[in-house]
Each structure stands twice: as C-alpha cells, then as structure tokens.
Amino acid sequence: MKQFDFRSTPLLLIGRDPDMLTLLREVLIESGFFVVARLLDGFLINLETSEDRPSLILYDEAMPEVDAERVYYLLQDSPVWSEIPLLILSDHFDGARVARCLDRGVAEFITKPFDVDELGARVRKILRDVIEDELLIEEASAQAVTSLEGFAGDLSYMNLSDLLINLHQNMRSGTLLVNMEEGDYHFHLQEGQLVGMEGPNDMRGKKALFRAIRDFYGKFVFSPRAEGEGPPVEIRDFGPLPNLILSAVQEADEFPLTRKELPPDPERIRIASDEASKEIFSKDFRILRPLLQSPDRQATIDELIDAYPKTDLESAQEILDLYSKGLLVLA
C-alpha cells in the first residue's frame, strides 16, 4: 500500500461549539493530521472569499439536525467547495437521514460517541482516495500536454501557470480556452509562445493573463492547430513565456496588498476639485474614463481597474498615487 504524509494535506473542521472544535482538532492532530478549525457562522459568511482550500471538510453537527444537510447544499452550490468531500460528525442517529446524506454525496456520516481510531481510519481512507485521484489526473494532464491531440481538464489539478509552461516546453500551437467564474479567457499559442490573449469584457494582452493567473478554479480545453495553420488573432510578441508567467505570479502576490490601500467596493470616488482635474488631465486621464463617463462623475475602484488596459497592479498603483495625493477622494 502507498504511504502518504497526511500532515501536508489540510483538513477543515467546522462547527458551532468552540470547545468541541478544540477537542476534535487536538484528537485529529494527535492522529497525524493537519487541521484548521473554523466556527460555522463565520465560515458560511466568508464562504466564497475564504482562502482555506482543504482536501476534506469535517462538520461537527449541533442541533438542529437540519444543519448538516443545509451546510452540504451550501457547499454544493459553490464552484469552489462542491468538489471537496464532506464528513459529518453527529450526536443524533437517524438511519433514513444517514442514508439520504450518503446517497446525495456526503463522503462519511459518523455518529457520536465514536472511536478515535475508527475516525482516523475513515479520514485516512477519504484522503487516500482524494490524493490518488489528484495524482491520476495530474499524470493524465501531463501526458495530454505532450500528445498531438486536444485535451481538457480542471485547473484545481493543474493550475494555469503550470499548464502554460507545459504547453511552452512542448512547443504546442493552438488555443487554450479557460472558463472561470468571471468569464472565458482565450490564450493563443504558436510553437509554445503566447501570441494573443483575450478575456471577459474585451480584456486583452497581459491584463487578461495576469488576471486569470490569480484565479485557481476553472475548466480548460486546449484545441491544437494543424501544422502551418496560423493563430486566429494578430500575432503579438509578449516576450518569453516563462518570464511572462513569472511576472504574472509576482503581480498576483502584490496586487491584493496594493488593492487593500484603496477604498473597497462599493465605495465610490470622485475627482477632488477643479484644480485636481487640471493636474490629472495634464498627464494621462484614461484611467479615469469610467468616472468621467458616469452621470454623477463617480466610480468604484474596481470599475476603474477593469476599464484600464494596463494590468490590474499597474492600474491600482496609478489610482493609489492619485488617491494618496488627494486628487481623488471618496464621493
């Protein structure tokens, strides 16, 4: 049997009773697992923005009993959480309810009191299945990249950076279509180099790539082109693809920090004064186009970033410069 290091595979423990969460976390850590605990209400409020990306969710159910099924449906409705297995720990046994949960896709349903060794064994079984599935998909994706055929997959198993690097190393020509929550991205390659990039809302060039790199979830399809067939876009030279990916990854780390220094949506901003307008317009006012086109001469920070052709970090830095100087203020 293969040996796995479960200490590098995160588990997310959620529930309403902080004392029980603490106890369960200690039990699981002593059994050799890496565990993060979250109170249920805070977890559900931040469901779509949470940075937790566990391999398994354990839900400690408290009264009322309907909680477990409600949590399961909320997770299933989320593109981020729906593929993560759920193990329910419950004080209440109801055979019909247990069967219903398992039939609908819950990975395990364990009734308290439970044996600690049994809990550990069930968790290890689920994690082994998860890890083996991931390894198989990664292997299949890597083999597909080197083949002459088209292929499809999920970014949760091979992220966009690795996917593009693999296409570059194998000098593939074709179009990579990536479907993300924000919309579709198209990356056109010619002998392993990016020659065209398009994103939602007429996003183009490096802005499209740098935006997509920040998202870890989506489906992709690579469609190869026949030998001698050119790309369906005007060819542009974006430089060596590995350098481009490195810049995109660096921006993905820096952008959230810069964005936090600016007012959050839905706060709107405006030009501070007529004098501020003169100073701004003496330079480059294209970044303020959404604000100027708005009837009330106001816009959110994200509206400005989305409309500017520069990358998100470059856009945020220019807005921050104007905001820090007092040329832009809250509306």
pLDDT tens readout for residues 111-143: 888 888 888 889 988 888 887 776 665 665 555
Q: What is the pTM of this model?
A: 0.60
CATH 3.40.50.2300 residue ranges in the chain? 6-134
Task: Kindly tell me if the per-residue pLDDT of 64 is higher than 60.
Answer: no
Per the model's pLDDT, the better-predicted residue between 47 and 254 turns out to be 254
pLDDT of residue 1: 47
**Triad 198, 212, 56: Cα angle to 5°:** 145
Task: Report CA 284 to chain centroid distance, whole Å.
Answer: 33
- What are the residues whose beta carbons fall under 8 Å from the beta carbon of 84, sequence distance 6 or more? 54, 55, 56, 57, 75
| Range with the poorest average pLDDT among 205-214, 236-245, 283-292 | 283-292
pLDDT of residue 186: 94
The mean pLDDT value for 62-91 works out to: 77
Q: How many CB atoms lie within 10 A of CB 184?
A: 12
Q: How confident is the model at residue 184 (pLDDT cuts 50, 70, 90)?
A: very high
3-state secondary structure of 141: helix
Task: Kindly tell me if the per-residue pLDDT of 262 is higher than 90.
Answer: yes
Task: Kindly tell me if the per-residue pLDDT of 309 is higher than 80.
Answer: yes
- The domain 147-257 is placed in CATH, from the list 1.10.3470, 3.40.50, 3.30.70, 3.90.70, at 3.90.70
The mean pLDDT value for 154-158 works out to: 78
pLDDT of residue 195: 92
Fold classified for 6-134: Rossmann fold (3.40.50)
Task: Kindly tell me if the per-residue pLDDT of 181 is higher than 70.
Answer: yes
Task: Kindly tell me if the per-residue pLDDT of 187 is higher than 50.
Answer: yes
CATH 3.90.70 residue ranges in the chain? 147-257
Q: Which amino acid is at 66?
A: V
pLDDT of residue 137: 58
Task: Kindly tell me if the per-residue pLDDT of 65 is higher than 60.
Answer: no
CA distances 266 to 119, 257, 316, Å, are 45, 18, 16
Average pLDDT of the chain?
Answer: 83
Please, what's the b/e burial string for 33-46 (b: 16 or more CB within 10 A of its CB; e: otherwise)?
Answer: bebebbebeebeee
pLDDT of residue 285: 65
Are the beta carbons of 217 and 176 closer than 8 angstroms?
A: no
Residue 297 to residue 314: CA distance in whole angstroms: 22
